[in-house]
Amino acid sequence: MWRLLCAVAGASLTVAVPNGQSRHVDAGVLRDLNEIEAGLYARNLTAVKSVLLTVAGSSNLTGEEVDEILDGVNGIVNDTLEPSVKTDFAIAQDQMDGFYELFLKCEEDQLHAFNRSVTDQASIVQFTSSHELCRKQQSLIADQVVSCTTLLTAAESIQSAKCTLYSETDVLPTTPPCLSHGGEDVEAYHERQIQEFEASLSNLLLRKHECGNATERLTTQRGQCTSANTSLSDVRNECDFKQLKLDNSVCDLSAKMGIDCAAYNTCRQQAMYSFMEANSSVSVTEEELKVTWKMLQQVRCMVDAAKNRDPHLVAICSERKNYSVAHLTINYTGVPPFAPCQTLSEPPGSPQYMEAMYAKMPKNAPVSACQASCCLRNTTFAR
Ligand SMILES: *[C@@H]1O[C@H](CO)[C@@H](O)[C@H](O)[C@H]1NC(C)=O
Ligand SMILES: *[C@@H]1O[C@H](CO)[C@@H](O)[C@H](O)[C@H]1NC(C)=O
Ligand SMILES: *[C@@H]1O[C@H](CO)[C@@H](O)[C@H](O)[C@H]1NC(C)=O
Ligand SMILES: *[C@@H]1O[C@H](CO)[C@@H](O)[C@H](O)[C@H]1NC(C)=O
Ligand SMILES: *[C@@H]1O[C@H](CO)[C@@H](O)[C@H](O)[C@H]1NC(C)=O
Ligand SMILES: *[C@@H]1O[C@H](CO)[C@@H](O)[C@H](O)[C@H]1NC(C)=O
Ligand SMILES: *[C@@H]1O[C@H](CO)[C@@H](O)[C@H](O)[C@H]1NC(C)=O
Ligand SMILES: *[C@@H]1O[C@H](CO)[C@@H](O)[C@H](O)[C@H]1NC(C)=O
Ligand SMILES: *[C@@H]1O[C@H](CO)[C@@H](O)[C@H](O)[C@H]1NC(C)=O
Ligand SMILES: *[C@@H]1O[C@H](CO)[C@@H](O)[C@H](O)[C@H]1NC(C)=O
C-alpha cells in the first residue's frame, strides 16, 4: 500500500492544482501544497497540521491562494488517497474470500474420493456375499464327502465280509464227503448226496452273487466319493479365488484411501499455511487502512477549519478521532471444518480383519490364509 501511494505522489500535484491557474501559482502556494502532500503520503499528521495552521493564520497569502491550497489538498484526499484505501481494502477482502474457495477445493476433492470409495465399497460388499455363498456351497459338499466316506467305509467292510465268505466256500473239498450213513440204503444215499450237492452249489452261487453285488456297490460308492472329492476341491479352489479377489479389492481400497487421505491432508496443510500467512498480512493491512482513513477524515476536518481561517478549529480537528471505519472491517473467513480422513482401521490379513470378514464362515469350509497383495504375510485364521 505504501509504495502504491508513493508512486502517484508526483502526479498528484497537477491534479491538485487546477490547470488554468497553474501558471499563476506562486512559489509560496506550491511550497505549502508540496509540504502538505509529503505529510499526507508520510501519514505525518503533525506535518500536515503545522502547514495547515500556518495557511489558516497566514496574513501573507490572499484568500484565493488559501482556497487554492485547500482545494488542492481536498483533491489529493478525494481523488487519490481515499480511492486508494478503498481499493486496497477490496483487494484484502478478496484475498480473504479466495481462501474459502481454496479450502472448499480440498473438501470437494475429498468428496470425489469419498464417492469413488463408496463405489469401491459397494463392489466389496458384492465380493463378500459371493464369497460367503461359495463357502456355504463348499460346506454342503464337504458334508457330502463326509457321509460318502462313511458309506464307502461301510461298503468296504460289507464287500470284504461277503467276498471272504465266498472265497471260503469257493474251494474243492480235500476229503470226499460221500460217506454213507449207517443203515442207509443206496437209493436214499444217492438222494441225500444229490440234495447236499445241490444245497452246497446253491450256497456257493449265492455267496458268489453277494460278493459280486457288494463289489459292484463298493465300486459305485467309490466312484461317487471320488467325484464328490473332486467337486469339493474344485469348489474350494473357486472359493479361494473369490476370497483372493475380495482381499485384493480391500487392499486396493485401503491403498486408495491412504492416498486420498494424504492428498487431502496435504491440501489442507498447504491451504492452511498460506491462509495463516495471508490472514496475518491482511490484518496488518486492515489496521493500516483504518489509521489512514481516520487521518484522511481529520485532514478533511482541518481543511474545512482552515477554509474558515480558524487555526483553533484546525487544532481541534487534529485531535478528533471518532470517525467510523466500520466499512474497512475485513470479513475474515472462517476455515471450513476439517473432515477427519477415513483410513481402513484393520489391515487386510490381520487377525482383526480375518475375524471381521470371515468369522461367519461355516466351520467345515474355512477360508485360506490371506494371499492378497497387501496382506500381512504369515497370518492364518486361527479359530
Ligand atoms: C512529522 O513532521 C514533523 C514536522 O515536519 C517532524 O518534526 C516529524 O519528525 C515528522 N514525524 C515523522 C514520524 O516523520
Ligand atoms: C510573511 O512574509 C514575510 C516576508 O514576505 C515574512 O517575513 C513572514 O515570515 C511571512 N509570514 C508568514 C506568517 O508566513
Ligand atoms: C471531497 O469530498 C468531499 C466529501 O466527499 C466533498 O464535500 C468535497 O467537495 C470534495 N472536494 C473536492 C475538491 O473534490
Ligand atoms: C457424490 O455422489 C453423490 C451421489 O451419488 C452426488 O450427488 C455428488 O454430486 C457426488 N459428489 C462429487 C463431488 O462427486
Ligand atoms: C444283487 O443286486 C441286485 C440288483 O443290484 C438285487 O436286485 C439283488 O437283490 C441283489 N442280491 C443280493 C443277494 O443282495
Ligand atoms: C475323499 O476325501 C477324504 C477326505 O479328504 C478321504 O479321506 C477319502 O479317502 C477320499 N476318497 C476318495 C475316494 O478319494
Ligand atoms: C485472522 O486474523 C484475524 C484478525 O487479526 C483474527 O481475529 C483471526 O483469529 C485470524 N484467524 C485465524 C484463523 O488465525
Ligand atoms: C465526534 O465528536 C465530535 C466532538 O468531539 C462531535 O461533534 C461529533 O458529533 C462526533 N461524531 C460522531 C460520529 O460521533
Ligand atoms: C461475511 O462473509 C460471510 C461468508 O461469505 C457472509 O455470510 C457474511 O454475510 C459476511 N458478513 C459481512 C458483514 O459481510
Ligand atoms: C511367521 O511367523 C513366525 C513367528 O510368528 C516366524 O517364526 C516365521 O519365521 C514367520 N514366517 C515367515 C515366512 O515370515
Q: Are 214 and 155 in contact (CB under 8 A)?
A: yes
Ligand number with the minimum distance to the CA of 215:
5
Q: Is the CB of 224 under 6 A from ligand 6?
A: no
Q: Is the CB of 379 under 6 A from ligand 2?
A: no
Residue percentage of the chain with pLDDT more than 70: 91
- Decide: pTM greater than 0.85: no
- Would you give the end-to-end CA distance of the chain in angstroms? 72
For residue 378, give the ligand 10 atom closest to its CA: 1
Cell matching residue 176: 470226499
| Chain centre to alpha carbon of residue 83 | 46
Task: Give the closest residue (by CA) to ligand 3 atom 1.
Answer: 78
The tens place of each residue's pLDDT in the chain, 383 residues long, gives 333 333 333 333 333 444 444 434 567 778 888 889 999 999 999 999 999 988 888 777 888 888 888 999 999 999 999 999 999 999 999 999 888 888 888 988 888 888 888 888 899 999 999 999 999 999 999 999 999 999 999 999 999 999 999 999 888 877 766 777 778 888 988 999 899 889 999 999 999 999 999 999 999 999 999 999 999 999 999 999 999 999 999 999 888 888 888 999 999 999 999 999 999 999 999 999 999 999 999 999 999 999 888 889 999 998 998 899 999 999 997 788 887 777 777 888 888 899 989 999 999 999 999 998 888 655 454 43
Ligand number with the minimum distance to the CA of 53:
2
Cα gap 105→248, rounded to integer Å: 31
Residue 217 CB: number of other CB atoms within 10 A?
A: 16
Q: Is the CATH code 1.10.490 the one for domain 8-358? A: no
Q: Is the CB of 112 under 6 A from ligand 4?
A: yes
Cα separations in angstroms, 215 against 108, 171, 225, 236, 252: 74, 20, 15, 31, 55
Phi–psi pair at 364, nearest 5 degrees = -90, 10
366 C-alpha to center of ligand 3: Å?
90
Closest by Cα among 246, 228, 278 to 372: 246
